Structure formats: structure tokens, C-alpha cells
Amino acid sequence: MPVYEYTAITRQGKNTAGVVDADSPVSARKKLRSSSIFPTTIREVHETVALKKEATMRWSPAKIFERIRASEVAIMTRQLATLVGAGFPLVTAIDALLPQSRSQGLKSHLAKIKDNVVEGNSFAHALSLFPGTFSSLYINMVRAGESTGTLEVVLDRLADMMERRQALKMKIQSALAYPVLMSVIGTIVLFLLLTFIVPSITSIFTDMNRLLPAPTRLLMAISDFFKHWWWGLFLMIGVLMVAYYIFSKTPSGRLIVDRVKLRLPLMGPLVRKLAVARFSRTLGSLQENGVPMLQALEIVKNIAGNVIISDAISEAAVEVGRGHSLGASLGRHSVFPCLFIQMVVLGEQSGELAGMLNKVADVFENETEAHVTTMASLLEPFMILFMAVIVGFIVLSTCLPIFEMNQLVG
């Protein structure tokens, strides 16, 4: 549908501007007038240009600080689904959510979305003005719901999917919280030992006119380095982090990093299962809402979180476009687990692909949670053992010269 850019006057006499989709300029004027907006100029523009211009007009420096969390969007979606399902008109439902939103950024977005819908634009079009808050998956599912008249069902499914994703994320974070805390505290303790405590203890050995044991000399060298060059260590870590960030943002660097992630002994299976679960859940939701397979694959390839898997999905989409089945197309790539391929094939054969994809997502989400729990339980004793070895080395290195001095005195 063509998109028209307009400048207009509201019923209150205020100047306004924006974009509206309509079949013709006459239809665009009627659409605006029905919303009590009286256009003064109107011209057809390309949709993407209009969206960019609309987004630029709505930008302000305060948006840098308006960080909207995914959990806030999930809560808003659940509330909106409830209101729309209860029979509230869309504009009324959005207006009811405005005072309930605690996030100023989300409240600002909702107000602008409501104004855009009042101006005659579709809900999906209004959401697309904020791509940083609402993903392409979210926008396309809403568009499918509007076109089929099942917006409340789509919003409910979106809320379910986002809540599952948030719940899985919270479980992973809670499982890793204690090991990460132990690692941070252990690192700080070791740094303080080597920088301040060990030098004061080993300083008594510098006046000895004899060769110190090798462990003691090694400990003194490490401690001396930390005492005088600790800033260089932090500088090197910072430089490496910046270099890694820049390298991972390049196409070739991102490809290498994602390939290494998939091949890591413990992290590789976790990354693979998490990506497959996200892919299955999203594709299943899109299929349930009537989004065509090729369009759905084009959407989900960008949410896998791994370039290798995204490229495999893109190649599979080309094969599906040529008439091949989804299971056979995905099966040509080794990045997908065999269980996933088998269940997709069974779903296609039974005509219940969407339901089977959701079941696959449940299976791999549960496996991901179990995998993280196992890793966390193994990481705790490993950290304790590592700390015990380091502290034991420090104690042994400081005690060996004392033992030698006692032997000389005896």
C-alpha cells in the first residue's frame, strides 16, 4: 500500500506532520479528516524513507537514557492483550496503559504509537517507528494479526513467548550468579594478596645472602609485577576487550567468533541449543499466526544470535523457495541437532509443523536450563579448587625460606 507524507492542522489549530498509508491521495485525505486532522500538503513517498524521516522527527537526546527492558515490553503486551481481548478498542486500550507504565521511555513510545494510530495508521506501522523497542518479529506478528482480525490472539501469543524467554533468561542468570560472584571475589582477593600482602611478607627475604627456593622467587617476581605494573595489566585487559569488540563487529570477525563459540567444549552445545530453541519458538509462533514460510524464515534468521546458524537458515530458505521441505533443507546443515531435524520432518508429515516446533522449543529450553545448572554446579568446586591451589602456592612459597632458616639455625 502506498505511503503518503503530510503536513496538517489539527482541530485545535496545531500544526502536525507524519506519514499515513492509503490507496490514493484522496483516500489519505479522507483517512486523516476522519481522525480530525486536516491536511495542507500531502505527497507519496517510499515507505522506508517515510519511516526513517518519522523516526528522525521523533528523536531527542533524552532517548539515549530511555532504555526499555524486554520485561517491560512483555508486561505491556500481556496487559494490552487482556484489554483488547475484553473488547476495548485498540486506542482506548493503549490509552489505559499509559498511566500504568513505570518506564518513561515506554510511556513516551506508547503515547506516540497511540497518536499514530489515531492519525489513521495501522498498529504495526506505528510499532515499526520504534525498531529498537519492537523487533521485526513483534511487528510482523502484529501485522498478521491485524490482517486476519485476530490481534488479541496474536498479542496473547507474543506475551506468552516473551514471558517464556524472560523466564529462561532469569533461570540462566540465577544459576550463574553464584559462580560469577565467587569468581569476582576470588579475583579481587588474589589481586590484593599479590599486590599488598605478599610484598610485605617476602621483603624479609631480600636481605638473605643465599639463593631462595624457586617457588619463592617466582612468587616474588609475580608480586613485584603486580605491585609496580598493575595499571599495565588493567590497561592490557581494556585494550584486549576493545579489540575483541571491534573485531567481533566486523563480518569476518563475527563469523570467526561465532564459529569458535559453537566449537567450545562446554559453551558450544549451550549456544546451539539456545539458538535452536529461539528459532523453533519464533518460527512456530509465526506459523500459528499465518505468516508465510519464506517470510517467517526471513524474520527468524536474524534472531538466532549466531552467524553460522543464521546463514544455515538463509540457505534453507532458498531451498524451501525451490520446493524442498523445511526438514530436508535444514538437515543439510550440521549445526542443527538430529532431534530437531527429526521432529521438524514429523511435523511436516503430520501437518502440525507449528505445534511440533513449539514442542521442540520446550525440549531444548529444558535442556538448556539443565545444561546451565550442570555447568554452574561444576564451576563452583572448580573455583574453590583453583583458589585453594593458588593460596597453597602462596603459603608454600613463603614458608620454604623459613624452613631453610630454621635448618640453618638448628
Q: What's the half-sphere exposure (Cβ side, CA atoms, 13 Å) at 205?
A: 23
For residue 303, give the nearest of 128, 398, 188, 161 by alpha carbon: 161
Q: How confident is the model at residue 240 (pLDDT cuts 50, 70, 90)?
A: very high
Report the CATH number that the domain containing residue 22 is assigned in CATH: 3.10.20
292 dihedral zone (left: phi>0; alpha: psi -120 to 50; beta): beta
Residue 179 lies in a domain: yes
Q: Are residues 231 and 377 in the same domain?
A: yes
- pLDDT score, position 235: 92
In a domain, 90, yes or no: no
**Among 38-52, 194-208, 344-358, 377-391, whose mean pLDDT is lowest?**
38-52
The answer to whether residue 56 scores a pLDDT higher than 70 is no
10 within some domain: yes
Contact (Cβ atoms closer than 8 angstroms) between residue 316 and residue 329 = yes
- Tell me which residue of 359, 393, 14, 101 sits closest to 220, measured CA to CA: 393
CATH code, domain carrying 244? 1.20.81.30
- Are 387 and 244 part of one and the same domain? yes
pTM of the model: 0.63
Please compute the mean of the pLDDT values over residues 5-34 and round it to a whole number.
72
pLDDT band at 12 (very low <50, low <70, confident <90, very high): low
Give how many domains the chain has, as a whole number: 2
Give the model's pLDDT for residue 238: 92
Whether residue 53 sits in one domain with residue 168: no
Q: What is the C-alpha separation between 136 and 122, in angstroms, rounded?
A: 15
User: What is the rounded distance in angstroms from the CA atom of residue 27 to the CA atom of residue 4?
Assistant: 10
Residue percentage of the chain with pLDDT more than 70: 88
Q: What is the pLDDT of residues 58-79, one digit of tens each?
A: 444 444 445 678 888 888 888 8
Structural domain ending residue among the three candidates 9, 40, 57: 57
Residue 190 within a domain = yes
Whether 159 is in a domain gets the answer no
Residues in the chain: 410
* Cell output for 59: 528523536
Please check whether residues 169 and 49 belong to one and the same domain: no
Cα 178 to Cα 175, 192, 209: the distances in Å are 7, 21, 47
217 plus 348 within the same structural domain: yes
Type of residue found at 53? K
Q: Are residues 264 and 382 in the same domain?
A: yes
Domain finish residue from 12, 42, 57: 57
Same domain, 279 and 408: yes
Residue 48: which pLDDT band, with cuts at 50, 70 and 90?
A: very low
The answer to whether residue 274 is domain-embedded is: yes
The predicted-structure confidence for 101-147, as pLDDT tens digits, reads as follows 777 888 888 888 888 888 888 888 888 888 888 877 788 778 877 77
The H or E element spanning position 73 is helix 70-85
Q: Which of 144, 131, 115 is nearest to 52 (CA)?
A: 131
* pLDDT recorded at residue 63: 46
Give yes or no: residues 259 and 391 share one domain. yes
Given a cut of 80, whether residue 215 has pLDDT beyond it is yes
Check residue 18 and give its pLDDT: 67
Residue 132 lies in a domain: no
Full domain range(s) for residue 269: 164-410
Residue 130 lies in a domain: no
